[in-house]
Structure 1
Amino acid sequence: MKILLFVLITHSATAQTKKADSLLSELNNAKYDSTRIKILFKLSFELRAANSDQALNYARQALSIAKETNNKKDEAKALNNIGLAFFYKSEYDRSISYYNSSLTIAMANSDSAAISLAYNQIGNTYKSLDNFPRSIEYHKKALAIRLGTTDTISMAQSYLNLGNSYVKNSQYELALKNFLVALDLLAFRPEAIEKSSSMNGIGNVYLYQKNYKKALSYYIQGYNFSIRNDDPRGINTFSMNVGNAYRFLKNYDSASYYLHQAVDLTEKSKNKGKMGEVYIAISSFYEEIGRYDKAIEFSKKANDVYTEIGFTGPLAQARLALAQQFLKSGNKETGARYLKEGLAIADSVKDKQILLSVYQCIAQCYNLLGNNLSAFKYMEKTMAVQDSLYTTNSIEAISQMQSTFDIKSKENEIELLNKEKQISEFQISRQKTIISSLIGSAFLFTLLVFFIYRGYKKTKNANLALSHAYEQINEKNKNISDSILYAKNIQNALLKLPSSFEKLMKENYFILYKPKDVVSGDFYWIEEYNNMILVAAADCTGHGVPGSLMSMLGIEKLKQAVREKGLTDPGDILSFVNRSFKETLSASGTETALRDGMDIALCCIESATDIIRFSGANRPLWLIEDNDNQRTLKEIKPTKAAIGGFTDEKQVFEKHDVLVNKGSTVYLFTDGFSDQFGGDHNKKFNLKRLREMIPSISHLTMKEQKEALEKAFNKWKGDYEQVDDVLIIGLRNG
Structure 2
Amino acid sequence: MKNILIFFLVASKLSLAQVNTDSLENLVKTKKGQEKVVLLNDLCWYLGTSEPNKAERYGKEAVKISKELKNDSLLAQSCNDLGTLYLRIGSYDEALDYYGQAVNIRTLLKDTIGTAAVFSKMAVIEELRANYSKALELNLQVLKLYEKIGSDKYAIATVNGNICLILINLNHLDQAIKFNNKAFAIAEELNNPQLYATALVNYANLYRKQNELNKALTYYKEAYPIFEQLNNLNSVGVVLNNMASIYEAKNVLDSSLHFFQKSLEIRYRLQDKKGIMSTKSSLAAVYLKKNKPDIALQFGLDALSISNEMGTKENSKTLYRLISQSYAQKGNYQKAYEFQNKYVFLVDTLYSETSSKQVAEMSAKYESEKKEQEILLLQKDNQLQEVEMDRIRKIRNIVIGGIIIILLFVIILINRFVLIKRQKTIIEKQKEIVEEKQKEILDSIRYAKRIQDALLTSQTYIERNLKRLRD
| In 2, Cα distance between equivalents of 1:334 and 1:340 | 10
- In the other structure, the counterpart of 1:122 is 122
Alpha-carbon offset, residue 133 of structure 1: 1.2
The answer on whether the counterparts of 2:167 and 2:175 sit within 8 Å (CA) in structure 1 is yes
Alpha-carbon offset, residue 308 of structure 1: 2.2
- In the other structure, the counterpart of 1:137 is 137
Alpha-carbon offset, residue 41 of structure 1: 4.3
| In 2, Cα distance between equivalents of 1:206 and 1:47 | 38
Q: Provide, for residues 420-454 of structure 1, a one-character-per-residue CA deviation record: whole Å limited to 9, x for no partner.
A: xxxxxxxxxxxxxxxxxxxxxxxxxxxxxxxxxxx
Change (3 A) 1:253 1:35: farther
| In 1, Cα distance between equivalents of 2:40 and 2:110 | 24
| In 2, Cα distance between equivalents of 1:176 and 1:294 | 39
The answer on whether the counterparts of 1:322 and 1:335 sit within 8 Å (CA) in structure 2 is yes
The answer on whether the counterparts of 2:300 and 2:323 sit within 8 Å (CA) in structure 1 is yes
Change (3 A) 1:19 1:191: farther
The answer on whether the counterparts of 1:182 and 1:198 sit within 8 Å (CA) in structure 2 is yes
**Aligned counterpart in structure 1 of residue 23 of structure 2, from 4, 22, 25:** 25
- In the other structure, the counterpart of 1:289 is 290
- In the other structure, the counterpart of 1:170 is 171
Q: Provide, for residues 677-714 of structure 1, a one-character-per-residue CA deviation record: whole Å limited to 9, x for no partner.
A: xxxxxxxxxxxxxxxxxxxxxxxxxxxxxxxxxxxxxx
| In 2, Cα distance between equivalents of 1:147 and 1:237 | 28
Is it true that 1:71 corresponds to 2:71 in the alignment? yes
What SS does the corresponding residue of 1:148 show, helix, strand or coil?
helix
Q: Provide, for residues 626-649 of structure 1, a one-character-per-residue CA deviation record: whole Å limited to 9, x for no partner.
A: xxxxxxxxxxxxxxxxxxxxxxxx
Residue type of the alignment partner of 1:325: S
- In the other structure, the counterpart of 2:300 is 299
Residue type of the alignment partner of 2:130: D
- In the other structure, the counterpart of 2:100 is 100
1:713-724 matches, within 5 Å, as none
Alpha-carbon offset, residue 267 of structure 1: 3.4
Change (3 A) 1:237 1:331: same
Alpha-carbon offset, residue 48 of structure 1: 3.9
Residue type of the alignment partner of 2:143: L
Change (3 A) 1:60 1:210: same
The answer on whether the counterparts of 2:241 and 2:260 sit within 8 Å (CA) in structure 1 is yes
| In 2, Cα distance between equivalents of 1:114 and 1:125 | 17
Is it true that 1:274 corresponds to 2:275 in the alignment? yes
1:639-654 matches, within 5 Å, as none
Taking structure 1 as the reference length, what is the TM-score of the superposition?
0.43
| In 1, Cα distance between equivalents of 2:180 and 2:213 | 18
| In 1, Cα distance between equivalents of 2:189 and 2:66 | 36
Change (3 A) 1:223 1:304: same
Q: State which structure, 1 or 2, has the greater radius of gyration over its C-alpha atoms.
A: 2
Alpha-carbon offset, residue 27 of structure 1: 6.3
Change (3 A) 1:60 1:194: farther
Comparing 216-225 and 227-236, the one that deviates more: 216-225
The answer on whether the counterparts of 2:24 and 2:43 sit within 8 Å (CA) in structure 1 is no
| In 1, Cα distance between equivalents of 2:111 and 2:287 | 50
Alpha-carbon offset, residue 147 of structure 1: 0.3
Alpha-carbon offset, residue 49 of structure 1: 4.3
What SS does the corresponding residue of 1:290 show, helix, strand or coil?
coil
The answer on whether the counterparts of 1:286 and 1:295 sit within 8 Å (CA) in structure 2 is yes
Structure 1: 5+ residue runs without aligned partners?
A: 1-14, 351-412, 418-734
What SS does the corresponding residue of 2:148 show, helix, strand or coil?
coil
- In the other structure, the counterpart of 2:223 is 222
Alpha-carbon offset, residue 94 of structure 1: 1.3
What SS does the corresponding residue of 1:347 show, helix, strand or coil?
helix
Alpha-carbon offset, residue 164 of structure 1: 2.4
Residue type of the alignment partner of 1:271: D
What SS does the corresponding residue of 1:134 show, helix, strand or coil?
helix
Q: Provide, for residues 8-39 of structure 1, a one-character-per-residue CA deviation record: whole Å limited to 9, x for no partner.
A: xxxxxxx9454122x65366457766666555
Change (3 A) 1:27 1:303: closer
The answer on whether the counterparts of 1:27 and 1:36 sit within 8 Å (CA) in structure 2 is no
Q: Provide, for residues 275-299 of structure 1, a one-character-per-residue CA deviation record: whole Å limited to 9, x for no partner.
A: 2211111112112222222112211
- In the other structure, the counterpart of 1:369 is none
Alpha-carbon offset, residue 102 of structure 1: 0.5
The answer on whether the counterparts of 2:50 and 2:271 sit within 8 Å (CA) in structure 1 is yes
Change (3 A) 1:188 1:88: same
What SS does the corresponding residue of 1:170 show, helix, strand or coil?
coil
| In 1, Cα distance between equivalents of 2:172 and 2:244 | 24
- In the other structure, the counterpart of 2:340 is 339
Residue type of the alignment partner of 1:137: E
Alpha-carbon offset, residue 247 of structure 1: 2.1
- In the other structure, the counterpart of 2:385 is none
The answer on whether the counterparts of 2:25 and 2:43 sit within 8 Å (CA) in structure 1 is no
Residue type of the alignment partner of 2:220: Y
| In 1, Cα distance between equivalents of 2:74 and 2:229 | 33
What SS does the corresponding residue of 1:130 show, helix, strand or coil?
coil
The structure whose residues are more often helix, as a share, is 2
The answer on whether the counterparts of 1:242 and 1:258 sit within 8 Å (CA) in structure 2 is yes
- In the other structure, the counterpart of 1:603 is none
Alpha-carbon offset, residue 79 of structure 1: 0.7
- In the other structure, the counterpart of 2:201 is 200
The answer on whether the counterparts of 1:96 and 1:122 sit within 8 Å (CA) in structure 2 is yes
| In 1, Cα distance between equivalents of 2:203 and 2:22 | 37
Is it true that 1:312 corresponds to 2:313 in the alignment? yes
- In the other structure, the counterpart of 1:147 is 147
| In 2, Cα distance between equivalents of 1:244 and 1:205 | 14
What SS does the corresponding residue of 2:156 show, helix, strand or coil?
helix
Alpha-carbon offset, residue 89 of structure 1: 1.8
Change (3 A) 1:123 1:40: same
Higher RCO structure, 1 or 2 (CA under 8 Å, sep 6+): 2
| In 2, Cα distance between equivalents of 1:27 and 1:146 | 35
| In 1, Cα distance between equivalents of 2:130 and 2:254 | 33
- In the other structure, the counterpart of 1:393 is none
Is it true that 1:246 corresponds to 2:247 in the alignment? yes
What SS does the corresponding residue of 1:246 show, helix, strand or coil?
helix
Change (3 A) 1:120 1:16: closer
Alpha-carbon offset, residue 190 of structure 1: 4.3
Alpha-carbon offset, residue 271 of structure 1: 3.3
Q: Provide, for residues 363-398 of structure 1, a one-character-per-residue CA deviation record: whole Å limited to 9, x for no partner.
A: xxxxxxxxxxxxxxxxxxxxxxxxxxxxxxxxxxxx
What SS does the corresponding residue of 2:211 show, helix, strand or coil?
coil
The answer on whether the counterparts of 2:297 and 2:326 sit within 8 Å (CA) in structure 1 is yes
| In 2, Cα distance between equivalents of 1:281 and 1:262 | 11
Change (3 A) 1:112 1:65: same
| In 1, Cα distance between equivalents of 2:226 and 2:54 | 28
Alpha-carbon offset, residue 50 of structure 1: 4.9
Identity of aligned residues (%): 17
Change (3 A) 1:196 1:36: farther
Taking structure 2 as the reference length, what is the TM-score of the superposition?
0.65
- In the other structure, the counterpart of 2:457 is none
Residue type of the alignment partner of 1:283: A
Structure 2: 5+ residue runs without aligned partners?
A: 1-13, 352-371, 377-471
The answer on whether the counterparts of 2:92 and 2:310 sit within 8 Å (CA) in structure 1 is no
| In 2, Cα distance between equivalents of 1:55 and 1:308 | 19
Change (3 A) 1:348 1:162: farther
The answer on whether the counterparts of 2:203 and 2:219 sit within 8 Å (CA) in structure 1 is yes
Alpha-carbon offset, residue 143 of structure 1: 0.8
The structure whose residues are more often strand, as a share, is 1
Alpha-carbon offset, residue 339 of structure 1: 1.4
Alpha-carbon offset, residue 144 of structure 1: 0.5
Change (3 A) 1:105 1:25: same
Q: Provide, for residues 457-513 of structure 1, a one-character-per-residue CA deviation record: whole Å limited to 9, x for no partner.
A: xxxxxxxxxxxxxxxxxxxxxxxxxxxxxxxxxxxxxxxxxxxxxxxxxxxxxxxxx
The answer on whether the counterparts of 1:53 and 1:85 sit within 8 Å (CA) in structure 2 is no
